[in-house]
């Protein structure tokens, strides 16, 4: 599947379609001439998040193999009562309300284990002693910096990276891994192009880490309170982002390849289509391959430059 590229055609062929907007989950199996099979999935993201999505398929596959146990069953929990007032820090939603319809292109770039180690080693050397960064923080920062340069943004331009944060472990008590629902919040990180470029990887990673450390249960409850006051349709739009913004979604650490229906582990997993410029998905590769796939949608005139910068940094660091 090394030649796979997300596209409207891939979605049309492999993913089930529906005119209804409230279908929580739709599935389609397509058998290929080579003997393989493609499981296409359409999910209502308001109903449940990525972690439960993968948990669902892991549980389903265990049922087919007869290896299910009670700890694998999804758990539905009544949401806790919201006691805090609406918090104004969430009025600035990370996406502009106007739709961006600029032409874009999509690609999947691979970072093998060696390249990942190079990036993380470079980050560790530049950071304060004892500071630890996650793989997500390192890659997201690297992508953010490369995109800013590829887009040729002015040095003083304010830029924003939004990412999806799983708050299961923030809640008191924490939500179980098998919680059935959406326990994800979008968090914006703001900086300037000059700060990102002058401190490649380090500055962005520090900003992301700092933002994550500030999230607590009060932030989550306040956001839930806010979201209950608005229409869901205002949050769900398939359009691109402004040139100063990107959104990074991480599937790292999720059991992406653990859904064994009796045929062995999946050989490949990815989105069928991207819906606009500025979106980035970090997806683990199969265990036998190792490393990470970075799926990105970007303006057509910026993609070649981004690809060059994306790999140039790891090569330079290795010398």
Q: What residues act catalytically?
A: 45, 260
Report d(CA 223, CA 229) in Å as an integer: 10
DSSP state of 318: H
Give bridge partners of residue 166 from the DSSP assignment: 184
DSSP state of 119: H
Alpha helices in 127-241 (DSSP H): 135-150, 193-198, 202-213, 217-227
Report d(CA 164, CA 248) in Å as an integer: 7
* Listed residue (308, 265, 304) closest to 284, CA to CA: 265
Report d(CA 281, CA 247) in Å as an integer: 9
- Tokens 């002693």 correspond to 129
């Amino acid at each position: 599947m090394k030649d796979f590229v997300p596209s409207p055609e891939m979605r049309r062929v492999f993913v089930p379609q529906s005119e209804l907007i409230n279908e929580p989950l739709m599935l389609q199996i397509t058998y290929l001439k080579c003997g393989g099979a493609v499981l296409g999935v359409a999910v209502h993201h308001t109903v449940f998040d990525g972690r439960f999505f993968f948990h669902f398929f892991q549980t389903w596959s265990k049922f087919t193999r007869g290896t299910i146990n009670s700890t694998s069953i999804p758990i539905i929990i009544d949401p806790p009562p919201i006691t805090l007032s609406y918090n104004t820090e969430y009025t600035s939603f990370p996406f502009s309300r106007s739709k961006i319809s600029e032409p874009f292109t999509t690609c999947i770039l691979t970072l093998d284990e060696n390249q990942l180690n190079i990036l993380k080693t470079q980050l560790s050397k530049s950071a304060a002693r004892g500071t630890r960064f996650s793989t997500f923080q390192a890659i997201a920062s690297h992508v953010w910096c490369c995109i800013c340069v590829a887009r040729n943004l002015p040095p003083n331009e304010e830029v924003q990276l939004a990412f999806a944060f799983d708050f299961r472990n923030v809640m008191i008590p924490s939500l179980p891994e098998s919680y059935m629902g959406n326990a994800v919040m979008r968090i914006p990180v703001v900086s300037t192009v000059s700060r990102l470029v002058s401190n490649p990887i380090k500055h962005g990673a520090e900003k992301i880490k700092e933002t994550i450390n500030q999230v607590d249960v009060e932030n989550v409850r306040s956001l839930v309170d806010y979201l209950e006051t608005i229409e869901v349709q205002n949050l769900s739009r398939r359009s691109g982002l402004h040139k100063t913004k990107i959104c990074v979604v991480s599937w790292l650490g999720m059991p992406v390849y653990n859904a064994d229906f009796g045929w062995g582990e999946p050989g490949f997993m990815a989105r069928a289509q991207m819906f606009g410029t500025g979106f980035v998905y970090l997806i683990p590769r199969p265990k036998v391959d190792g490393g990470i796939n970075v799926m990105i949608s970007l303006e057509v005139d910026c993609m070649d430059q981004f690809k060059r910068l994306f790999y140039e940094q790891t090569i330079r660091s290795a010398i």
